[in-house]
Structure 1
Amino acid sequence: MTHLQALLKNSVRQCPTKTAIQFEGECVSYADLEHQVRKVAGGLQKLGIHQGDRVAWFLPNCLEAILTTLACYQIGAVAVPLNYRYVAEEVIDVVERVDARMILFHVDKMQIVQPLLPTHEGMIAVSVGSTHSTPDDIHPFSVLLETEALVSGINVEPGNPAFILFTSGSTGHPKGVIHSHAGAFAGIETSRQIFEFTSEDVVLVGKPISHAGGLQTQLMPALSVGARVVLSMRPTPASAVSIIQAESVTEYGMLASDLLDFVEYLEQNPTGLPTLKNSIGSGDAVPTDLHHRFRDLLGWEVMEGAGMTEIGGYYAANPRFGTRKWGSLGLPTPDTELRIVTAEGDDCPSGETGEIVLRTPSATIGYWNDEQATTDLFRGEWLHTGDLGHFDDDGYVWFIGRKKLMIVRRGSNIAPAEVESIIDEHPLVHAAVVVGLRDPRDGELPVACVALIGKQDDSSEKTIRAYVADQLAEYKNPVHYLFFDELPRTGTGKFDRHQLQELVAENFGD
């Protein structure tokens, strides 16, 4: 039995009657959670799922998604979570690429999934959620729970695939990132250590568990130590605050963009959150100004970290306790070797920018059916993140930008994150994303996409331009500004740079 298969073992032994999952008013104890996982595992086998088969699930955050994932681990099947915001074409693409043997889906997605079945002969379909009638070719989820429980897990090698997560595709065609049983558990352990989860914690999991941020850094580490998980699905700031108060939540992780919304809500609706002891902003850089605002509201500092789907969690994070350096990514996470290298692969001295490369036991074993992309990701044992950064003299990592996002203007590099951090500090600005615009003379020009806190008026752009010009070299100043009521986001909740790049080209291109 792999460590991943035994994830619930200690929690079940130490606190069998304690609530493991709380979702939509239902509480499931650790003992009952394990029992239901074994029943679903038996149900999957009865429907014909074998070791190595890919089981796709197209579900929001819900108990059934957790049961399915843990059951797949038990029988050696490969879980393939699908972004719940996928449209039909994206679902078809993933299902066909992994040759899914089964798809579980919420009844709200029936119109997307049902047309797939006649063209995917042999694929088993299971629906989740109440419905008056289920088509003959679709099984209700209850069928999986009516089967005799699996007595013991299938013998699985630690290096065998456990799940495949598809990247958001904001910079190109989504790739299927494969994580082994050993790698998945290593990522869970890393998150457990950096957050210092204990059985006393109450963890609000609001990030989608179809992504590494929800599944690997929040849900699974919390379950591994016997914490109580309150499951939600991208709650609004008002809803999150209500849940934190009602359930005495101690830890809540958010994307940096959601953290901004959370802070703005609390500023407008002052609310005491005495039980909340830790939070992290990830996915994008957390501006220094937002760090200040968070501490002013809650009296303690928000964590900041950086991770990627390819390592199933974080590769750097500010410590839970001890010195946190605002604006930095923090220190390398446990068991992660982190270097910053030049284009030639030499180590950069402190303060010099290079690419962040990693060696960690949680690294992916490769991209699904994409040898070239896998080869490009690794140089020997080192995984190349595509993130640019530098070390300071204390060993903290500072993020400069994405290698592929770097704007090159007349031979000079412009890191979007640097410009964004300045614009974000202006009191009129809610959020900003800077992208490059192709130009025949300069190569690329920086363009700022900005969402304002209030209504835009004739002076907004002039005011922000003057503010930025005082703090940045002239060549880094955005040439154009494009204003939005709200910046578009990807399926993972990050700001959608790819879509913004297209909008900028439409508005300012030749």
Structure 2
Amino acid sequence: MAAAKADGTPLQQLLARSAKACPQKIAIRTESGDASYSQLYSLVGRVSAAMMNLGIGAMDRVGWLLPNCLQAVACTLACYSIGAVSVPINVRYASDEVAYMVNKVQAKMLFLSVGKLDVLQDLPAHLQLIVIGAQTSQRLSHRSWDEFLQTDVEASSAPVSTEHPALILFTSGSTGRPKGVLHSHGTCWAAIRISAEAFQLRSDDVVLVGKAITHAGGLQTQLLPTLMMRGEVVLSMVPPAATAVDLIRRFHVSVYAMLSSFLLDFVDYLEISDHNLPSLRRVIGSGDSVPLHVQSRFHKLFGWPVLEGCGITEIGGYFATQPIGKEKPGSIGLPTARTEVRLVDVDGKAVPLGQPGEVLLKTPSAAVGYWDDPEATSSLFQDGWLRTGDIARKDEDGYLWFVGRRKLIIVRRGSNIAPAAVERVLATHPEVQSSVVVGVPDELDGQVPIAWVLAKDKACPPANASLAEHMSKRLATYEVPVCYWFLDEIPLNSVGKFDRAGLQKAAEERYQILANAHRAGA
């Protein structure tokens, strides 16, 4: 392991450098108040001292089950400062999922909001609990935030090496239990720098964080890059469209990034309201592919394109983004700085130009591996390359075009179907707002595609025959969905993406009922 520098890693110095350069500038705006860079730096120092006072040191895991708030920011930065490992946990997780994560990493301390006290019944008794929003401790095992901060210990940091563990981000767990993705100080710093460079963040930018900071998209591609560049963060808990517009106007937001599903809501809202937002200069959509019709509608509203970013938890940020000024609508752009990309077939051999293959990566932000899971860690890498599980193709200009995810590929009579490709075609139907395509088991075909559809006019959805005709003209016969089922809204999972796992299960159950009824009537 590399020797620690006297002043710590770049990740440990991130806030200190910004606070020294612009102490009085607003760093973060929240619903509960604002904090300048010097005030945030002071708070992080107090949290670091309080953690150390309670026995937290290098390598200890510290969980935080918090919404987007100032305390959450202070918790993770304090962990970095003293060499502890920050473990963000999404507030949308149920109590048994929280307990699993806490136990998996053997957390020594957990910060949680007073509204999440229902999870305590499933947590280990030895866990030190700090409750945000509580006036006083309710039991000896709890401390309120104010009680926690009361300490005589001097604020200090513990310099570590860039290889030292910094962050465990849990995957969304669409298949099996969530896995804890382990990042070091060096890989976290690389993800933060790459994001700042990709979107050309500046010190005069005001960035509205449109994702939960318990995940890489909020923490490492929005919040921390902005603080690194000495910009201003507006921190809200994944604001709905009307709230986002209000915040953009009130604080003159210049950069706003959100999940693709929320971008659709944002465009819908602006089309029926006063959409004059002159301060905005960048909007980024990610998490799922941004449909071309949404990109077109966005361009009509603003006169400039929405950008796409594609990344995974295992690299803590983006591996491809639309190059600013050289966008190709529909693509996910070019590889980010210092990122190498290979596209390979099932045998690990490079695919010809234009052909789809699994995306393999080499990037300085690649995770160390999965926490306490050597088997999964081993399968994550192939000859030094990180396997993403994403399927893409590359064009003659080097742009990447997302095809689908390896685990989501539907195999029908030996032919592969990428749900994302089917969804893109569905999105071109004039009466379709959005869709999720899943594969279900079928006795004859192995698997068949099913489309869950959100119609533009929910009271009068398109006829199945209209959808089938539209799709059959644009797709191979085997790619055309066998059923179109309508939803009043597309459910979201714990990280705010379309709940593909839930819709997959619902489709399998419904299709099985139909199959049983068909057999009974035969």
After superposition, the Cα gap between the structure-2 partners of 1:343 and 1:417, relative to the gap in structure 1 and judged at 3 Å, is same
1:334 aligned residue = 337
Instruction: Measure, in 2, the Cα distance between the counterparts of 1:352 and 1:384.
Output: 18
1:415 counterpart residue number: 418
Question: What is the Cα deviation at residue 111 of structure 1?
Answer: 1.8
User: Which range moves more in the overlay, 274-283 or 169-178?
Assistant: 169-178
Residue pair 2:96, 2:122 contacting (<8 A) in 1 also: no
Counterparts of 1:458 and 1:284 in 2: how far apart (Å)?
A: 24
Q: Hey, what does 2:48 align to over in structure 1?
A: 41
- The corresponding residue for 1:188 is 192
Q: Does 1:201 find its partner at 2:205?
A: yes
Distance 1:364 1:417 in 2: 26
How far has the Cα of 1:380 moved from its partner?
A: 2.3
Q: 1:79 maps to which residue?
A: 86
Assess if the C-alpha contact under 8 Å between 2:284 and 2:308 holds in 1. Answer: yes
CA distance in 2 between partners of 1:2 and 1:458 (Å): 56
The alignment status of 1:96 with 2:95, answered yes or no, reads no
Are 2:318 and 1:314 equivalent residues in the alignment? Answer: yes
C-alpha separation between the residues in 1 aligned to 2:256 and 2:134? Answer: 30
Structure 2 equivalent of residue 369 of structure 1: 372
Q: Take 1:134 and 1:206, find their aligned partners in 2: how far apart are those partners?
A: 33
Q: Please provide the CA RMSD for this pair.
A: 1.4
Query: In the TM superposition, what is the alpha-carbon distance from 1:99 to its structure 2 partner?
Result: 0.7
Q: Deviations over 1:370-393 (max 9, x none)?
A: 111001010121001111111100
- Please name the residue that 2:390 is paired with: 387
Deviation digits for residues 241-269 of structure 1, max 9, x if unmatched? Answer: 01001110000001111111110111121
Aligned residue in 1 for 2:71: 64
2:233 equivalent in structure 1:
229
| Residue 14 (structure 2) aligns with | 7
Out of 492, 501, 504, the residue aligned to residue 501 of structure 1 is 504
- Matches of 1:177 and 1:103, distance apart in 2: 18
**Match of 1:399, as an amino acid?**
F
Tell me the TM-score normalised to structure 2 length.
0.95
Aligned equivalents of 1:347, 1:412: Cα separation in 2: 20
Query: 1:418-445 deviations in whole A, cap 9, x for unaligned?
Result: 1100111223222101110111111111
Cα deviation digits, residues 167-190 of structure 1 (max 9, x gap):
001232210000000100000000
Of the candidates 354, 357, 360, which is equivalent to residue 357 of structure 2?
A: 354
For 2:352 and 2:19, how far apart are their aligned partners in 1? 48
Deviations 1:138-167 (A, max 9, x none): 011113433357544102121111010100
Structure 1 residue runs without a partner (length 5+): none
Q: 2:281 matched to 1:277?
A: yes
The equivalent residue for 1:31 is 38
Do the aligned residues in 2 keep the contact of 1:36 with 1:145 (CA within 8 Å)? no
Q: Could you say if the C-alpha distance between residues 132 and 3 of structure 1 is closer, same or farther in structure 2, counting changes exceeding 3 Å?
A: closer
Equivalence map 1:131-142=2 (5 Å): 131=135, 134-142=138-146
Deviation for aligned residue 1:453: 2.1
> Quick check: 1:39–1:148 contact (8 Å CA) kept in 2?
no
Alignment of 1:100-499 (within 5 A): 100-113=107-120, 115-116=121-122, 120-131=124-135, 134-148=138-152, 150-319=154-323, 321-457=324-460, 459-499=462-502
- Contact kept? 1:312, 1:363, Cα under 8 Å: yes
Give the Cα separation in 1 of the matches to 2:217 and 2:118. Answer: 28
- Alignment check: 8 A CA contact 2:216 2:316 kept: yes
1:428-471 alpha-carbon deviations (Å, 9 max, x no partner):
22210111011111111110011122224475323222222222
The 3-state SS of whatever aligns with 2:505 is: helix
Check the 8 A contact 1:107/1:131 in 2, yes or no: no
* Cα distance in 2 for residues equivalent to 1:309 and 1:103: 22
Distance 1:188 1:376 in 2: 26
SS of alignment partner, residue 393 of structure 2 = strand
SS in 1 for 2:208: strand
Bigger drift between 120-129 and 237-246 goes to 120-129
Change (3 A) 1:242 1:408: same
Deviation at 1:349, TM superposition (A): 2.4
User: Which whole-Å deviations, capped at 9, do the CAs of 1:29-57 have from their partners, x for residues lacking one?
Assistant: 10111111011000000011111111011
CA deviations over 1:65-108 (Å, ceiling 9, x no partner): 00000000011111111011011110111111111101110000
Q: Which amino acid aligns with 2:47?
A: V
- 1:22 equivalenced with 2:29 (yes/no): yes
Answer whether contact 1:103 1:124 (CA < 8 A) is retained: yes
Supply the AA of the counterpart residue of 1:322.
Answer: G
Local SS of the residue matching 2:290: coil
Change (3 A) 1:36 1:159: same
SS at match of 1:280: strand
* Paired residue total: 506
Q: The residue matched to 1:436 in structure 2 has which SS?
A: strand
What is the identity, as a one-letter code, of the residue corresponding to 1:63?
A: L
State the Cα distance separating 1:130 from its structure 2 match. 3.9
Deviations 1:179-231 (A, max 9, x none): 00010000000001001111100000120000000000000000001100000
Letter in 2 for 1:53: D
Distance apart, 1:270 and its partner CA: 3.1
Q: C-alpha distance in 2, partners of 1:244/1:42?
A: 35
Specify the SS of the correspondent of 1:488: coil
| Code of the aligned partner of 2:127 | M
SS of structure 1 residue aligned to 2:11: coil
Give the direction of change, closer, same or farther, for the CA distance of 1:148–1:397 in structure 2 (3 Å limit).
farther
